[in-house]
Amino acid sequence: MSTEATDFLDHGSPVVREFVRRAVPDESAPDLEKARALYYAVRDGIQYEIQGADVSRAGLRASSIIQRNMGFCVHKSVVYAAALRSVGIPARLFYGDVRNHITNPKLERLIGGDVFTYHGLTTVFLEGRWVKVTPVFNKLLCKLYKITPLEFDGRADSVYHPYDETGQRHMEFVREHGDFDDVPYDTILNGIRANHPLLFETWNRLAGGSLVADAQR
């Protein structure tokens, strides 16, 4: 059930195996404990950055993302799914369109509004049920943009930040595209290109910049 390796979820690679070994040194730990450890390893161990992201096929492989140590939601959900599958926990990829993504005026201009298409997260099979999990926005980014970091207890959905630290609505799903056993590459990239053409610097790379640097300025 959704544990096999794929070209994108290449959990047999030495890079992914080493990432998992560091996050879960005890192979005998319960699945829920492993899933939580891997969640935080991906959430805070890989920098969230949409600007300048590599969205080529090679750039969306779990091993490549770990080596580059950065990516946005689509990348980080791939790493988490691959890491989960590597320890035998079924995982899939889930996509939806969201309003009020973490942004700034520059990125909002590149996106062309406040709705981002094909926001990626992961669904995990734990204790007999599928749980939605979002190991995306790391602590530093949340602090800079005044968003409370998402936690994951292994049982309840950890989907999005509905409100920021001031109580203002921050994110909501406006459309769901569903679960996938592997990255539906052409569907995602064609959808993002069609809806956010200014976001692309080249065919396979997004426009450069830094969310962290922009917030610090």
Confidence at residue 163, expressed as pLDDT on a 0 to 100 scale: 59
Question: What whole-number distance in Å separates Cα of residue 191 and Cα of residue 187?
Answer: 6
pLDDT of residue 106: 84
pLDDT recorded at residue 121: 95
Neighbours of 106 (CB within 10 A): 13
Please give the average pLDDT of every successive group of 10 residues along the chain, which has 217 residues: 92 98 96 98 95 96 97 97 98 93 79 92 96 92 84 89 64 91 97 95 90 73
pLDDT of residue 184: 98
Q: Domains in the chain and their CATH numbers?
A: 14-202 (3.10.620)
Residue 177 CA, chain-centre distance (Å), reads 15
What's the rounded Cα separation, in Å, for the pair 48 and 71?
Answer: 5
Question: Is-contact 158 132, C-beta < 8 A?
Answer: yes
Angle at 87 between CA 81 and CA 65, to 5 degrees: 40
Q: What is the structure's pLDDT at 141?
A: 85
Query: Global pTM?
Result: 0.94
Inter-residue contact 62 to 16 (CB < 8 Å):
yes
Beta partners for residue 176, in sequence order: 96
CA 4/CA 68 separation, integer angstroms: 23
